Every structure is written in C-alpha cells, then in structure tokens.
Amino acid sequence: MKNIGVLALQGDFHAHIKALENAGAHPLEVRTAQDLAACDGLIIPGGESTTMVKLIGLENLLEPLRAFGQSKPIFGTCAGAILLAQEVASPAQPSLALMDIAVERNAYGRQIDSRVAKIDADGEQMDAVFIRAPIIRRVGPDVKVLASYQGNPVWVEQGRHMATTFHPELGTNPHIHRRFAAKV
C-alpha cells in the first residue's frame, strides 16, 4: 500500500487523514522534509494559505515540496489549491507553481459567505463545502476541469496533480480521495 502524506502544519489535516483511511489509503502526517521523503503522494489541506506559506518557510519545506511535486502527485484543497497555483491574486503570494492555474483568494466571500453546494463531480453528485474558498480564474491548456460551480472550475487535474477549491474531506463521498489514491 502506498503512503499518502498530509501536510500537517496548519489546517484541516485530521479530516483528510480520515478521508484517506475511508478511501483505503495509508495516510501519514507530514511536518518535515524527512516525513515527506517517506511519501508516495501528498495532500496539502485547506487552512489559511498565508499562514501555511510562513510555516512552510519556517520548516524549510518550500524546495522539498517543489522537488516532490516534480515527480510525485500532490492534491491541494482550498488553501492547498492556492499553493499549487502558478498565479495567485487578491493578494499575490508565493506558491509552489506546480499547476497551470490562476486563483483569486477568498473570492466566494468572507467566512459568513461559506456554503455547501451540490455539484456534479466527475459524473457523481456530491456536496461541496466552500469555506472562504478561492476561485480558479484561469486554467492552462493541459488542465482538465472535473467539476464546476457557478461557471467556475472547482476541481481540476493536471498530470499527476489535482486541486479542489472546496473541502471534499468534509463531505461523505470518498470519490475524490479515492481518485487521488489511485493516482499515487
């Protein structure tokens, strides 16, 4: 069984660990480059992207994460999607730039505007939990859109990488985590 790490510096990493277990995968908490080296794939969870960037810097994980993403799959949810994006706006911030997407931070609104919406995701109906979610404003030619909400991509895939602007780990449908586990 492949080891799928969950970046455990900040954010909702515990829910991803449970979702991976429910999907039949073997999750590991990742806090250091040594932890990352034991993984075959990685999830970067939701949380606060500015805080995550600072913590990644403090733990000297920026370059190890970029190198990991050059050969192994990464799945980013919400703040994780921001960290995978090539372009980040509102405001601009550093990212891993591993996916050819442009995102606008907190574009669905403030915390009070958070919502659960029904989406058709890869042929399945599911609840999508949006919490201060980014909007994907641009996708590159090699990016496949797997689900949209209000006309905007909310689940995308490019090669080995995936990103959602919502939180699939907070729903009951294991489809997205199973798909990522299969990529690993």
Q: What amino acid positions are annotated as catalytic residues? A: 78, 167, 169
The answer to whether 40 touches 184, Cβ cutoff 8 Å, is yes
The answer to whether 27 touches 6, Cβ cutoff 8 Å, is yes
Mapped to the 3 state alphabet, what secondary structure does 46-97 carry?
A: CCCHHHHHHHHHHCCCHHHHHHHHHHCCEEEECHHHHHHEEEEECCCCCCCC
Rounded distance, CA 91 to CA 4, Å? Answer: 31
Element (H, E) at 44: strand 41-44
Rounded distance, CA 143 to CA 137, Å? Answer: 13
Rounded distance, CA 53 to CA 98, Å? Answer: 15
